[in-house]
């Protein structure tokens, strides 16, 4: 069975919409793609079909949900499952001001009891694989022991796949600075894989080259890249060959652009 999580393109607000994901599939067929984070209330109170519709070529594709109300998250996950997503992912890593005011995203790492209620409610209502994207910590909730206890508590509810951004979130910083401050701590993520060999651990944060991906894959199960996928898409046109062992067919930017024309016309 293919481990599609070996190379993932991160959910990014105002970046990884269905049009970008369709383009991404022109240069990698095997990797895991994700939607932007969509709040559960947007799905329940808005136009769910418009929000969740995607092209069949996007598979495997995961729906990332935001929110902290167990019932709302469960209902949104059910709708996501009905739309055929290959994975439902809960955002437990975003540190934005909007997320803080709504007490979701990374701030759920401070409230394991609420997070556990959300996970339990979602998992009992869907059969689609359910995963968590988190940070190594937030504010004073940090360190080896904290992250170990966090993963232990959450995995007790049947979550077996964690995407871990290897940087602590700081609530006093804006979203942009939370992508560069404090320094990344890859070693802590490696330690968690050693501590929980039964869990699938995907590392995220500051990864920009194929060689870096290969180095990380010696220690963890998968790698997630973010803005470098959006800024330099052709850089990843060899991923299926170098990471998944597929036959490589060199693609030029012009060939990808021309392949998009029928999609644009439709």
Q: How far apart are CA 131 and CA 112, in angstroms?
A: 15
Is residue 67 packed enough to be buried (19+ CB in 10 Å), middle (13-18) or exposed (0-12)?
A: buried
Catalogue the active-site residues: 94
b/e sequence 239-248, b meaning 16+ C-beta within 10 Å:
bbbebbeeee
Q: What does the angle CA 154 – CA 101 – CA 176 come to, to the nearest 5 degrees?
A: 85
Measured from the Cβ of residue 257, the count of other Cβ atoms closer than 10 Å reads: 12
248: tokens are 């490589």
72: tokens are 């709302």
**Could you give the dihedral angle defined by the CA atoms of residues 220, 34, 37 and 218, in that order, rounded to the nearest 10 degrees?**
10
Give the containing element (helix H, strand E) for 211: helix 210-217
Look at residues 194, 139, 192 and name the one whose alpha carbon lies nearest to residue 168.
Answer: 139
116: tokens are 């556990």
Alpha-carbon distance values, 58 to 23, 39, 71, 121, 166 (Å): 9, 21, 28, 27, 27
Only one residue has tokens 């599609």, namely 4
């Amino acid at each position: 069975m293919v481990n599609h999580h070996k190379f993932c393109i991160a959910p990014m607000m105002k970046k990884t919409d269905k049009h970008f994901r369709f383009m991404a599939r022109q240069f990698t067929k095997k990797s895991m793609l994700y939607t932007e984070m969509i709040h559960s209330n947007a799905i329940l109170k808005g136009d769910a079909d418009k929000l969740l519709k995607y092209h069949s070529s996007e598979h495997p594709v995961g729906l990332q949900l935001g929110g902290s109300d167990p019932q709302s998250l469960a209902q949104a996950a059910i709708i996501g499952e009905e739309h055929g997503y290959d994975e439902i992912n809960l955002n437990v890593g975003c540190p934005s001001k909007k997320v803080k005011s709504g007490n979701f995203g990374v701030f759920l790492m401070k409230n394991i009891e609420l997070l556990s209620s959300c996970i339990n409610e979602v998992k009992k209502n869907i059969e689609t694989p359910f995963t968590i994207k988190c940070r190594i910590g937030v504010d004073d909730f940090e360190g080896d022991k904290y992250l170990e206890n966090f993963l232990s508590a959450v995995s007790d509810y049947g979550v077996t796949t964690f995407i871990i951004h290897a940087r602590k979130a700081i609530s006093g910083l804006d979203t942009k600075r939370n992508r560069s401050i404090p320094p990344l701590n890859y070693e802590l993520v490696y330690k968690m894989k050693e501590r929980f060999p039964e869990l699938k651990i995907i590392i995220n944060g500051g990864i920009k080259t194929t060689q870096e991906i290969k180095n990380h894959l010696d220690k963890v199960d998968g790698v997630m890249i973010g803005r470098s996928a959006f800024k330099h898409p052709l850089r990843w046109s060899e991923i299926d060959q170098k990471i998944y062992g597929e036959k490589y067919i060199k693609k030029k930017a012009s060939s990808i652009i021309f392949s998009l024309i029928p999609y644009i016309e439709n």
